[in-house]
Amino acid sequence: MVWQAINKPPPSRSPMFLLKGVLVVFILSLILTSSYIYRDTITQKASTIKFTDGEATDYFKYPFNSSDANANPIDWLIHDARARQDAVLQKRSRTLHNAAQRYRERRGRHPPPGFQEWFRHAEETQAIVIEEFFDRIYDDLKPFWAVEAKTIASQANAAEHVIRVRNKKVASEGDTKYEGDTKHEGDIEGRGPWLELWKALVTEVEEYLPDVDMPINYMHEPRVLVPWKLKEKYLAKEEKGRKMPMKNKATSGYKGLTDVGKSYSKEWTSDDRRKYWDLVREACPEGSPSRNVPAATYLSLPPTLPYSWEAPFARQGYVQNFTGSQDPCVQPHLRSLHGTFVEPLNVNTTKDLIPLFGGSKLRVNSDILIPGAMYLSDDEAYTGGSSHGPAWPDKLDRLTWRGIGSGGLTQSDNWMHFHRQRLVEMLNGTTVRGMEANDVRAMTFDMPPLERYNTTRRREKRLGDFLSGFADVGFTHLSCGPSNDRRKECDWLTPHLSVVNATPMAEQFSSKFLPDADGYSFSGRFRAFLLSTSVPLKATVYAEWHDDRLVPWLHFVPLDNTFQDLYGVLDFFTDGDDAAPSQWDVHKVLGKKSKGDDAARWIAEQGRDWAGKVLRREDMRLYVWRLLLEFARLCDEERDTLAYVDDLP
């Protein structure tokens, strides 16, 4: 009977009936499609999210209610990060035509000549090409479109340190020997052969590059601080002049640098280091919180952290917008809580818009970013060697940090305001235990109020006991005094901070948690931490080339630059409400299973896998290659017509 029914010819239907049927099918398809697309997003309407066995990691098997007001905000941030990464991956360009089209949509210009070879190499090296990954290049170069090409070229040509490409060959110029670069045990701050490391990277693609000069900043600190009013004019002029010529008007041949002169910045500021903040705030937008707040001048008393301040980049006290957390313009308190703004090691800054390439910069700087030279080195001080640490279940349930007392010029009347010193003291169990017992403050920080970060360990005054068994941190050199001698211990500092033995990075990878804080500028160990099997806890005011490729709470754990959220973060990942004191033995491999530990493992493994796909040497090479194509076009007098248009009909 069933077969007979199936084989009968279908009865005739009225047009209205068919229309209704089509409409029902369409609506059902739309519902199913929408359900599939949004099933993993944080904004879905379902009150509870629970992933099935085999999906993602065990962390996502725990019920999560996105609308629960009592839920830990870190849970929300982790789920949100995963959803945002899924959305980004949908934008991957897999063909040359697709890549060029997305370039035009996002940049408002044609790609530069040489784009075809660049994309072919990206395909050959299995690079993940997502146009947003290169936003940093265009943010850096935008204001230069308001400057004459010949001026930019002559400024680049006149630099003290420069990498030159001429006739498909690379050369470098500049004295790379600096006093004070002697490397001591545990010190990964020295400049070393930066110029040669960058030169070697450019040499790998020299056959594809036009003639171009790449002026290098050889100091730790960024050096270009254009006042906001002037930079705003440059950006307005760039936007007004942005155009895409018709295909028949486009040209593909770079003119070259045969008649380029030498003209550099006329004014370099080397004023009082303690007034550096005043240069920074001048580069902030008018009306921003820091714009009219002068540099801190009275630094001899311990600082107070801004616990009552509601950060615009945070969600319930935890960093949500990592870019925002780096911005000094919205955080006037950083003028007395970060060494860069308290008293940097060097100040050699220009307010002129000149091209200068370097490994990091403040969000207000106009330097042009390239991958830090440390990331190109095979020195185990930066890489940790070939091993990236044991598997998560075999790791020590411990936090490890080693470094020197860098971050600026540490002196007797300012050291309490430096970020590295605060990090070390906040993780010192003896210090915290004394604060809990006597209800006093430390030299570099005061304890967060319970209403801000209400954790069990804080309520029961056992945070110090926990840190004594959990945190293994310390300075290998105090690096203090006017001479900044890394081998000299200062009488005024040793009563508060001691020196510990260095721990090779490879050994640090045995710990689950690795804090990372700025030195004189950015930290050169971040890439190695990402590639390890541990969780990086990252705080920084410095932008780097890779920022658009990484998602906080998915690839690393972001920290506020005051570290006021540090205890709350540690409490979440170590299950502070459940962990017993017997579990805090620093030498014991726990191999425990808990929600916080599963979340930490998820971030550690996601960060390692992703860094292995987008932070490779091949990826750094592609980034610099594309940057130099763009910069060469900027320096060309025919730049408005120079374009790749072969993909167009």
- What does the alpha-carbon distance between residue 230 and residue 239 come to, in Å, rounded to a whole number? 15
Query: Quick one: 331 and 384 in the same domain?
Result: no
Task: Confirm whether 86 is domain-assigned.
Answer: no
427: CATH? 3.40.50
Task: Confirm whether 65 is domain-assigned.
Answer: no
Query: Quick one: 397 and 475 in the same domain?
Result: yes
- Residue 189, Cα to own-chain centre: how many angstroms? 18
What pLDDT, on the 0 to 100 scale, is given for residue 616?
Answer: 98
Contact 380, 374 (CB under 8 A): no
Query: Quick one: 351 and 450 in the same domain?
Result: no
Contact 402, 380 (CB under 8 A): no
- What does the alpha-carbon distance between residue 322 and residue 314 come to, in Å, rounded to a whole number? 9
Query: Quick one: 220 and 327 in the same domain?
Result: yes
Task: Confirm whether 643 is domain-assigned.
Answer: no
Q: DSSP state, 125? A: T
**SS3 state of residue 542:** strand
Query: Quick one: 332 and 416 in the same domain?
Result: no
Contact 569, 537 (CB under 8 A): yes
Query: Quick one: 488 and 598 in the same domain?
Result: yes
What pLDDT, on the 0 to 100 scale, is given for residue 436?
Answer: 95
- What does the alpha-carbon distance between residue 458 and residue 291 come to, in Å, rounded to a whole number? 36
What pLDDT, on the 0 to 100 scale, is given for residue 44?
Answer: 37
Task: Confirm whether 190 is domain-assigned.
Answer: yes
Task: Confirm whether 78 is domain-assigned.
Answer: no
All residue ranges of the chain with pLDDT < 50 are: 1-56, 179-189, 584, 586-590
Task: Confirm whether 486 is domain-assigned.
Answer: yes
The CA-atom distances, in angstroms, between 523 and each of 66, 154, 478, 527, 634 are 34, 32, 17, 9, 30
Query: Quick one: 396 and 337 in the same domain?
Result: no
What pLDDT, on the 0 to 100 scale, is given for residue 1?
Answer: 33
What pLDDT, on the 0 to 100 scale, is given for residue 43?
Answer: 38
Query: Quick one: 411 and 481 in the same domain?
Result: yes
- What does the alpha-carbon distance between residue 189 and residue 356 come to, in Å, rounded to a whole number? 21
Query: Quick one: 319 and 395 in the same domain?
Result: no
Tell me the residue range of the domain where 127 lies.
Answer: 96-376+620-634
Contact 226, 143 (CB under 8 A): yes
Task: Confirm whether 13 is domain-assigned.
Answer: no
Of 204, 172, 171, 224, the residue nearest 355 (C-alpha): 224
- What does the alpha-carbon distance between residue 629 and residue 351 come to, in Å, rounded to a whole number? 26
Domain count along the chain = 2
Task: Confirm whether 417 is domain-assigned.
Answer: yes
Query: Quick one: 509 and 401 in the same domain?
Result: yes
Contact 424, 418 (CB under 8 A): no
Q: Six-digit token pair at 156? A: 């680049």
What pLDDT, on the 0 to 100 scale, is given for residue 191?
Answer: 54
Query: Quick one: 284 and 216 in the same domain?
Result: yes
Query: Quick one: 519 and 588 in the same domain?
Result: yes
Of 528, 518, 502, 478, the residue nearest 374 (C-alpha): 528
